[in-house]
Structure 1
Amino acid sequence: LCCPVSCAEWEAEVIKKIEVLTTSCVVIPCSFEYPGVQKSHSQLRGIWYSGNARDKFIYHEDDTKIVENFKGRTKMVGDLGSKNCTLEIVEFKNHDAGPYCFRIEIPGGENFSYKDNCAQVFVTEKPEEPKLHYREKAYEGSPYAITCSVIHTCPSHMPELTWSRGGKEEVTTHYKSIGEGKWEVQSLLTFVPNEHDDDADITCAANFYGGMNSESKMNLRVK
């Protein structure tokens, strides 16, 4: 019997589809398998190419081979030696949409294009609006909390959430991966309302990498 490593097949696990905000960035999760013993990073060459044209490289370790409009915007953030082919694309443009496929080359060995496991990337010009969660009623003199969260595809340049009120000591921020190539930023605003806060609007604004913005607001009712 052969061991599981040497019996591995040419397989890749790539996110099937993802929507990216124009001007922002995307990290495309990717892992792969190949037959034979595991190689180190230096023994492997990873390439990403357009699913519409195999000779159109959007990532190559030799940047002279990358198509002009992708030069300087793509980076292999995964470790090929750990069978991780995750790709980052920054400053995403409207014409960047399309299927992207991964190819592994083993110098002195075999090469393989995982053309059946490509990532379909769509572009949106409308930024995600922050979601607000809060109790309907606030009470004068009692601590009150509002949570603002937004989903994005750019973990290397997280969106910034800001409030229309509250100092830094009243705000805590958390970041987490929610899978499928998406991440969430969550900001918690905690304060003690007074009578002057009744009927006040509180806004949470999201500033995305690349300059796009969106916001959501709630109306505070203090008893």
Structure 2
Amino acid sequence: MACPENMFFLIGLFMSGVLAFFGERGLIATMPDRLDVLTGSCVQIPCAFEIPNQKDYTFNSTILTFGVWIKESPQFAQSPNNVIFNSSKTDNRYQGNITGNMSQKNCTTVFFNVTTSYSDKYLFRIDSQPYRATDPDKSVNIDVRDLPPSPIITVSGEVKEETPVSLNCSAVAPCPEHPPELTWTLPTQFTPENQLQENPDQTKSVLSIVNFTPSYLHHEKNITCTAVYPVGTINKTAEHTMMLNVSFSPKDTSASISPAGPVLVGSCVNLTCSSTANPPVTNFTWFNISGGKPTQNSPVGTVCVNQTTAGEKPEEPAEDQPEEIHYGDIDFSKLRPKETPAAAQDRNRVQGQETQSKTGLRAQTIKTNDP
């Protein structure tokens, strides 16, 4: 009875070894996870492969190796209808070529005249003597659309007035033989630089770069990048539009006084200051030009002036004061309160008293978050 038991034990080890062998990946393929393709165009699948277990098979570049693409399932023998391309054959379901050098483990493939039925998952297989293997753990999903995806606009750094900036527009090029053409619509003159570039996953895209120096007049202006894809005898177009957000210092600062006409000595007037900036001005300071202390820190100020301050001589502004300073005059020369008999006597006793005077006020724009 000992022999049957030992025999059973040996059979068990053998079966375990077989299962372990078939559980390993006989091929490791590298390709993108996803490709967006246009109907009627071509698609290039970047592809490379490695043999993980060199003990079982050492890749020999002198031996002719064929590439096979399988749809949906990695089961090659059980699903022959899923084989859509085999480089060893001249008649395939999909028109295409393996453009990579298989002897250098490059399986890059191009399929032509793509239709919507091509939208699916695809796996790669090598077929050579004496080694054949499929990578069941890596696939590429191809999504075929009638319209191209929109290009992507990016801006390098903060957009500030009088500071050079770069605008980048990129569009996928699933068919590098017929890449898209990129054009810009900008509120300024420009000279774009276009180039075909390779992405980290080995796919291709077209990049267009525009360098320009924005001004405050470009704030909230639209820019557009348009991608035109040639497909057969027609073109398919996609575009992306974004609004420029330009940071700039205060512009068009103005100060006004209400009421605007002559006012009574001792009465009050409203002072209003406005300015355009990005980010917006958050603080205004009103102060007397003749050297008095600041009176208000708000867009609207109220100032009451008596006869003494009205007669002071305005001082010259300091050299280190900000540029955005605007002036307004309050005229007390035409309207005066009705003179009482006592006030008339006082006036007669004081010769040379001024009856007309002016005072000047100025508004200082305080810039916060100066761009």
- Which structure is larger by alpha-carbon Rg, 1 or 2? 2
Deviation at residue 189 of structure 1 after TM alignment: 1.1
Does 2:241 align with 1:217? yes
Normalized per residue, which structure has more strand? 1
The answer to whether the Cα contact below 8 Å between 2:170 and 2:206 also exists between their aligned partners in 1 is: yes
Does 2:121 align with 1:99? yes
- Segment drifting more, 31-40 vs 94-103: 31-40
Q: 1:117 to 1:41 in 2, by over 3 A?
A: farther
Does 2:75 align with 1:54? no
Residue 31 of structure 1 is matched in structure 2 by 49
Q: 1:218 to 1:183 in 2, by over 3 A?
A: same
- Of the two structures, which has the highest relative contact order with CA contacts closer than 8 Å and spacing of 6 or more? 1
Q: Percent identity?
A: 21
* Distance in 1 of aligned mates of 2:141 and 2:219: 48
* Distance in 2 of aligned mates of 1:20 and 1:133: 21
Does 2:111 align with 1:89? yes
Deviation at residue 81 of structure 1 after TM alignment: 0.6
Deviation at residue 161 of structure 1 after TM alignment: 1.2
The answer to whether the Cα contact below 8 Å between 1:14 and 1:117 also exists between their aligned partners in 2 is: yes
The answer to whether the Cα contact below 8 Å between 2:159 and 2:214 also exists between their aligned partners in 1 is: no
Residue 22 of structure 1 is matched in structure 2 by 38
The answer to whether the Cα contact below 8 Å between 1:27 and 1:155 also exists between their aligned partners in 2 is: no
Residue 99 of structure 2 is matched in structure 1 by 77
Residue 277 of structure 2 is matched in structure 1 by none
Q: How many positions carry a matched residue from both structures? A: 208
* Distance in 2 of aligned mates of 1:110 and 1:151: 36
The answer to whether the Cα contact below 8 Å between 2:221 and 2:244 also exists between their aligned partners in 1 is: yes
Q: 1:163 to 1:84 in 2, by over 3 A?
A: same
Structure 2's unaligned 5+ residue stretches are 1-23, 74-78, 249-371
Letter in 2 for 1:213: T
| Superposition pairs of residues 159-170 of structure 1, within 5 angstroms | 159-164=180-185, 170=191
TM-score (norm 1): 0.72
Deviation at residue 87 of structure 1 after TM alignment: 1.8
Letter in 2 for 1:85: C
Cα distance per residue 1:97-131 (max 9 Å; x no partner):
12222222224x24334344433333344532222
Letter in 2 for 1:202: I
SS of the equivalent of 2:103 reads helix
* Distance in 1 of aligned mates of 2:243 and 2:133: 57
The answer to whether the Cα contact below 8 Å between 2:147 and 2:237 also exists between their aligned partners in 1 is: no
| Superposition pairs of residues 133-148 of structure 1, within 5 angstroms | 133-134=154-155, 135-139=158-162, 143-148=164-169
Deviation at residue 31 of structure 1 after TM alignment: 1.4
| Superposition pairs of residues 104-143 of structure 1, within 5 angstroms | 104-107=126-129, 109-134=130-155, 135-139=158-162, 143=164
Residue 4 of structure 1 is matched in structure 2 by none
Does 2:31 align with 1:10? no
Letter in 2 for 1:60: N
Q: 1:131 to 1:117 in 2, by over 3 A?
A: closer
Structure 1's unaligned 5+ residue stretches are 1-7
The answer to whether the Cα contact below 8 Å between 2:35 and 2:140 also exists between their aligned partners in 1 is: no
Cα distance per residue 1:139-176 (max 9 Å; x no partner):
4xx64532222344344433221113577x82112443
Q: 1:103 to 1:194 in 2, by over 3 A?
A: closer
* Distance in 1 of aligned mates of 2:137 and 2:120: 14
CA RMSD of aligned residues (A): 3.5
Letter in 1 for 2:150: E
